Structure 1
Amino acid sequence: MGTLAFLFAIWGLLLTPGPTNTLLALSGASAGLARSVRLMPAELCAYLLVTVPLAVFGAEFLAREPLVASAVKLAAAGWVAVLAVKLWRIRAEAAEEGAVTARRVFVTTLLNPKGLIIGLTLLPRGAAPEFPLHLGLFAASILGVALIWAGGGAVLNRGKAGTPILYRRAAALWLAFLAVALAGAAIRA
């Protein structure tokens, strides 16, 4: 895959609404863009922890162990479901204290199926000459997309105090939908 095609594929995948993007938008809405920037290193580290090993030797391993991919999808579905329940139940006072933490973003991104797709299909194999360039572009894209989602959340809540319950409940419903979709994909696989 050429560099331009790689970038478009990465941007298309990273910009798609998912559990990490939902958390970033919620953080932007509740804490503002400046405070949400602190979450971005957690997302970057989690994506790199998943994608680099997969690009280097993951395809061969998963070909030998197909149940592992299904187990990862089920774990991701479970984590996203837990996040949905936590967001739904959170009290207004707790939301002000920071419902979205770097730890939640890290674990959510670590279990995000996008990492599997990127590591197994979009990034070149670790020995390929274009691997360092594509990995750098991927890392920069993660940060850029995180800014877009957190900034979008901040714009939604501009001039308002706190995050309205509607935003949290909408995010919880979206995460619940994603959890069901992930579980369905894992079961079908």
Structure 2
Amino acid sequence: MLSFCLSILLLLATPGPTNTLMALAGYQHGWKRAAPLISAELAGYLLIIIPVATLAAPLFEQRPVLALWAKLAAGVWVFFLAIKLWTIQPQAAGARRIDWRSVFVTTCLNPKALIIGLVIMPRGALAALLPWLLMFALLVLSAASAWILGGSLLRREGGSARTHTLIHRIAAIGLLLFATLLAGAGLRAVA
């Protein structure tokens, strides 16, 4: 269990699309209003991890092209998010905020979910996985809280509209880099 916890924490601490959104949500909403988004992250991870660990792992091992298509789909979604973050005007009336749906969909498409389901999570029946899934939920709660807290601490510093735009642009660049890595890995596998 210790090895499992350390592996999950290391993966969840790594910057990626979901973590970027959680930090940005903390920045946009503050800790109290962004905290409910943790349920979107957890739901997104579990929606992918449970079927992968219980049913799909053998299929992905037999047909690696399916995992490749999953990575490409994730790359497209993350690229789409990066473009939206780059073009958003944070101070504009009605500016789009990070919401439950965007965190949920991003987490479902996050390749970390596949890595957890295929590599880290033990395989077996759902009942056998329950203790592991409970520990995973606690680790997601901890990591997501840290990312939201980081974003909310930036919010406390205040700042002008220019600072808000800069924060969104930095997050967009991070997402764009992640999307490029995903797409590059997928295209290299095809070539």
> What TM-score do you get using the length of structure 1 for normalisation?
0.93
**Equivalent residue of 2:36, what SS?**
helix
Would the alpha carbon gap of residues 179 and 130 (structure 1) be closer, same or farther in structure 2, given more than 3 Å must change? same
Q: Do 1:50 and 1:115's aligned partners in 2 also have CA atoms closer than 8 Å?
A: yes
For 1:95 and 1:57, locate their aligned partners in 2 and report how far apart those are by CA, in whole Å: 46
**Equivalent in the alignment of 1:156:** 154
**Equivalent residue of 1:126, what SS?**
coil
**Equivalent in the alignment of 1:185:** 185
Q: How does 1:1-189 map to 2 (within 5 A)?
A: 3-94=1-92, 97-127=95-125, 131-160=129-158, 164-189=164-189
- Name the amino acid aligned to 1:125: R
RMSD: 1.8
Q: Do 1:31 and 1:98's aligned partners in 2 also have CA atoms closer than 8 Å?
A: no
For 1:152 and 1:101, locate their aligned partners in 2 and report how far apart those are by CA, in whole Å: 18
Aligned length: 187
Identity of aligned residues (%): 46
For 1:62 and 1:135, locate their aligned partners in 2 and report how far apart those are by CA, in whole Å: 21
Q: Do 1:14 and 1:142's aligned partners in 2 also have CA atoms closer than 8 Å?
A: yes
Q: Do 2:86 and 2:172's aligned partners in 1 also have CA atoms closer than 8 Å?
A: yes
Worse-matched range after superposition: 130-139 or 111-120: 130-139
**Deviation for aligned residue 1:132:** 1.8
Q: Note the alpha carbon deviations across 1:43-89, whole angstroms, 9 max, x for none.
A: 11110000011110221111222211111100000000000000000
**Deviation for aligned residue 1:129:** 7.8
Would the alpha carbon gap of residues 111 and 65 (structure 1) be closer, same or farther in structure 2, given more than 3 Å must change? same
For 2:154 and 2:145, locate their aligned partners in 1 and report how far apart those are by CA, in whole Å: 14
Instruction: Name structure 1 gaps, 5 residues minimum.
Output: none
- Name the amino acid aligned to 1:67: V
Q: Do 1:30 and 1:95's aligned partners in 2 also have CA atoms closer than 8 Å?
A: no
**Deviation for aligned residue 1:99:** 2.1
Q: Note the alpha carbon deviations across 1:153-178, whole angstroms, 9 max, x for none.
A: 11112141676111100000010000
**Equivalent residue of 1:92, what SS?**
coil
Instruction: Name structure 2 gaps, 5 residues minimum.
Output: none
**Deviation for aligned residue 1:127:** 3.3
Worse-matched range after superposition: 97-106 or 174-183: 97-106
- Name the amino acid aligned to 1:132: L
